[in-house]
């Protein structure tokens, strides 16, 4: 497909405010893309040259792109800068300056390759090289193409189309039916690379997707836990089950193939370079290839006590990782294994996977060890283990169904978490997606932001529904940072995937997640989360307990289904 044609589709997708229309445009576009280009087309739709775990960075900030635009259209740099300031979008600046009358002959592949080339230019003189390469590309293309190329290069081609919608559209485009989506989703959950899955689907067909297996060095989308608020309910649901200590660190999915080791975070960023001591310990394992799931924590070597989450995460921001790894060495607690020496264990029952965890990690040294579990069907044992776990400073327990496989990318009752706060009315914090913000009033007027409109994810429709307005819990500094983060994803109309009865002063692309605590979930006539017959759900007295979460994407926020469950559960708790 010509990149010009894709640009027209991008423009139509950008201007629609209706999700169904978005789906129709997308499946029409995908039906016209060739099998060799479908992966790249998916990346353009996602707005990233590849999933972030590949670590491909184009590395061009506004200033450099301004120079490329100035060079391509023989326009003074000052004029480019002024228009950029005025319009606030370099994509549009390029569109306005570009005088080409007709669309270029460049294919999606040609444009993609030229952009990928930028990411490979590093070291001395690379800035000039990048400016030349981008300018050459811009010279050849029509205004609309230029707009999207510039936005893509800057990481600002955000159309806010969810992966679920992309998969449904791929299924419709290739088979004329949406029904193949679950198979695509299964493959995506095993490799986290939708472009790769799309390309296999188009070039090798349905059977290959159905047989798709885990691949070492491509992260598996993590299995997630449901919640219940009493040991009894959990035992009623699971019967005899494993109780696994729940650590409050950060999730680390580890891949090893020979000497090569990679560690992925909960939202599948490559975090290998942050934890040299872990990489070294993993290399020492005798297994040739392995993928396992674990929680990483820092601990005090002298006393053996675990540091809280804030200390653990701190090193991510530290420049001197070596120093941090000496001062706050990390430990890994392994709770699952998904692949071993050429064989996927995803479909093996929990008991078999757990035996493998014990066998491999029992004596693997002090850095990596298995999490501690018990297996029981007795409420007394459950309560005792839970209390012991809590008194040793941990967060709670994750109960695991003995017969279940590893549920990649799914939150279901194969894993059920119960935290130490389960006796309070609303026993958990809630992760919400920021959908818009309100201007500050009174003392907050000077920050330009006073509160945010936030929502939860509705898996059924792949949309975001509002649940609350949050104004408290942010420091002044955070408010300032929040405004600048949100301004970078501001849009001029309600995004198509947002369902809201409330109109904030500014809409933003649903990208950022924050964690909030609330007193209670209540019914509400104005919030659309779970709305039926005019009644939805809202949070009472919400306050932020985190800043923007680096480890969560919008689709990782809590879901409408979970809110309904939490609402039901809080009614059954006696305080």
Burial class (CB in 10 A: 0-12, 13-18, 19+), 109: middle
Please state the closest distance from residue 529 (CB atom) to ligand ATP, in A: 17
Measured from the CB atom, the residue of 248 and 519 that comes closer to ligand ATP is 248
Minimum Å distance from CB 123 to ligand ATP? 37
First to last CA, the chain: 62
**Cβ nearer to ligand ATP, comparing 71 with 394:** 394
Size of the site for ligand ATP (CB under 6 A): 14
Residue whose CB is less far from ligand ATP, 92 or 428: 428
Indicate which single residue of 130, 174, 251, 497 sits in contact with ligand ATP (rule: CB under 6 A): 251
- Which region, judged by CB under 6 A, interacts with ligand ATP, from 122-130, 246-254, 269-277, 477-485? 246-254
The span of 80-88, 243-251, 310-318, 519-527 binding ligand ATP (CB under 6 A) equals 243-251
**CA–CA distances in Å: residue 486 to residues 182, 431, 480:** 33, 17, 10
Q: Which is nearer to ligand ATP, 83 or 364 (CB)?
A: 364
Q: Which of 158, 417, 420, 497 binds ligand ATP (CB under 6 A)?
A: 417
Interaction of residue 196 with ligand ATP, rule CB under 6 A: no
**What is the per-residue binding string for ligand ATP in 464-483, x denoting contact by CB under 6 A?**
--------------------
Neighbours of 302 (CB within 10 A): 6
Interface with ligand ATP by CB under 6 A: which range of 238-246, 271-279, 447-455, 531-539? 238-246
- From the list 56, 224, 367, 485, which residue makes contact with ligand ATP (rule: CB under 6 A)? 224
Closest distance to ligand ATP from the beta carbon of 479 (Å): 24
Cβ-based nearer residue to ligand ATP, 251 or 401: 251
CA angle 6, 181, 9 (to 5 degrees): 15
Evaluate whether 287 touches 256 at the Cβ level (below 8 Å).
Answer: yes
Q: Which of 145, 199, 244, 555 binds ligand ATP (CB under 6 A)?
A: 244
Tally: H helices and E strands in the chain: 21, 21
Residue 514 contacts residue 437 (beta carbons within 8 Å): no
CB nearer to ligand ATP: give 224 or 548.
Answer: 224
Name the minimum Å distance from CB 295 to ligand ATP: 4
Contact 291, 339 (CB under 8 A): yes
Q: Among 246, 417, 469, 552, which one carries the catalytic annotation?
A: 246
Q: How far apart are CA 500 and CA 523, in angstroms?
A: 16
Q: Is 246 one of the annotated active-site residues of the chain? A: yes
* Residue 472: both structure tokens together: 């408290």
Query: Please, what sign has the CA dihedral across residues 508, 509, 514, 518?
Result: positive
Residue 434's DSSP bridge partners are: 454
Answer yes or no whether residue 245 interacts with ligand ATP by CB under 6 A. yes
Residue 246 touches ligand ATP, criterion: CB under 6 A: yes
d(CA 534, CA 541): 22
Our finding on whether 562 is near ligand ATP (CB under 6 A) is no
What part of residues 80-99 is at the interface with ligand ATP (CB under 6 A)?
A: none
- Quote the least distance from Cβ 152 to ligand ATP, whole Å: 30
Rounded to whole angstroms, how far apart are CA atoms 167 and 110? 24
221 binds ligand ATP (CB under 6 A): no
Pairing of strands 224-227, 411-419: parallel
Centre a 10 Å sphere on the Cβ of residue 472 and count the other Cβ atoms it contains.
10
To the nearest whole angstrom, how small is the minimum distance from the Cβ of residue 301 to ligand ATP?
A: 21
- Torsions phi, psi for 23 (to 5 deg): -60, -45
According to DSSP, residue 61 is labeled -
Nearer to ligand ATP, 47 or 222 (CB): 222
Does 335 sit near ligand ATP (CB under 6 A)?
Answer: yes
> Is 430 one of the binding residues for ligand ATP (CB under 6 A)?
no
Cα–Cα dist 350/356, whole Å: 10
Closest alpha carbon to 26 in 9, 40, 8, 43: 9
Distance (Å) of CA 292 to CA 222, 295, 339, 469: 11, 10, 7, 39
Is residue 371 within the footprint of ligand ATP (CB under 6 A)?
yes
Closest CA to 408 of 154, 111, 167, 182: 182
Active-site positions read 246
The residues that touch ligand ATP, with contacts defined as CB under 6 A, are: 222, 224-225, 244-247, 251, 266, 295, 335, 371, 398, 417
């Amino acid at each position: 497909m010509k990149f010009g044609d894709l640009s027209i589709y991008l423009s139509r997708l950008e201007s629609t405010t209706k999700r169904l229309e978005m789906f129709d445009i997308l499946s029409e576009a995908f039906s016209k893309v060739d099998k060799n280009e479908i992966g790249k087309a998916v990346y353009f739709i996602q707005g990233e040259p590849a999933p972030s775990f590949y670590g491909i960075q184009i590395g061009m900030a506004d200033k450099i792109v301004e120079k490329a635009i100035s060079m391509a259209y023989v326009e003074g740099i000052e004029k480019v800068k002024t228009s950029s300031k005025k319009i606030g979008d370099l994509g549009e600046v390029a569109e306005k300056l570009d005088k080409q009358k007709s669309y270029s002959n460049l294919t999606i592949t040609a444009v993609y390759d030229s952009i990928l080339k930028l990411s490979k230019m590093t070291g001395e003189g690379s800035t000039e090289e990048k400016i030349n390469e981008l300018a050459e590309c811009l010279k050849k293309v029509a205004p609309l193409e230029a707009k999207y190329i510039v936005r893509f290069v800057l990481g600002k081609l955000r159309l806010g189309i969810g992966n679920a919608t992309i998969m449904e559209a791929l299924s419709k485009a290739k088979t004329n039916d949406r029904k193949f989506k679950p198979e695509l989703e299964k493959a995506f959950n095993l490799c986290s690379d939708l472009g790769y899955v799309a390309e296999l689907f188009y070039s090798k067909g349905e059977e290959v997707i159905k047989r798709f297996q885990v691949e070492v060095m491509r992260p598996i989308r993590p299995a997630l836990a449901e919640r219940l608020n009493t040991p009894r309910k959990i035992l009623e649901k699971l019967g005899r089950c494993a109780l696994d200590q729940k650590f409050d660190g950060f999730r680390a999915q580890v891949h090893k193939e020979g000497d090569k080791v990679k560690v992925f975070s909960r939202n599948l960023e490559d975090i290998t370079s942050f934890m040299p001591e872990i990489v070294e310990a993993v290399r020492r394992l005798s297994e040739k290839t392995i993928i396992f799931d674990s929680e990483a924590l820092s601990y005090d070597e002298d006393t053996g006590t675990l540091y809280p989450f804030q200390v653990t995460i701190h090193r991510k921001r530290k420049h001197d990782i070596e120093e941090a790894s000496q001062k706050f060495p990390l430990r890994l607690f392994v709770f699952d294994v998904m692949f071993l020496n050429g064989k996927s264990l995803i479909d093996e029952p929990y008991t078999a996977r757990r035996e493998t965890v014990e066998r491999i990690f029992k004596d693997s040294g002090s850095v990596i060890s298995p999490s501690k579990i018990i297996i029981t069907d007795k409420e007394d044992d459950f309560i005792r283990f839970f209390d012991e776990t809590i008194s040793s400073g941990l967060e709670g327990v994750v109960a695991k169904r003995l017969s279940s496989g590893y549920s990649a990318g799914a939150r279901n009752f194969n894993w059920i978490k119960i935290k130490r706060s389960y006796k309070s009315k609303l026993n958990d914090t809630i992760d919400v997606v920021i959908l818009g913000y309100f201007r500050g009033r009174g003392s907050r007027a000077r920050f330009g932001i006073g509160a945010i409109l936030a929502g939860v994810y509705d898996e059924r429709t792949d949309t975001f529904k509002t649940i609350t307005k949050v104004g408290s819990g942010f420091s002044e500094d955070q408010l300032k940072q929040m405004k600048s983060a949100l301004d970078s994803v501001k849009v001029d109309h309600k995004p198509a995937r947002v369902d809201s009865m409330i109109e904030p002063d500014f809409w933003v692309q649903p990208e950022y997640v924050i964690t909030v605590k609330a007193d209670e979930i209540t019914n509400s006539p104005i919030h659309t989360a779970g709305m039926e017959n005019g009644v939805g759900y809202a949070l009472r007295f919400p306050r932020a307990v985190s800043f923007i979460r680096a480890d969560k994407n919008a689709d990782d926020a809590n879901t409408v289904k979970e809110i309904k469950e939490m609402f039901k559960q809080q009614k059954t708790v006696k305080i």
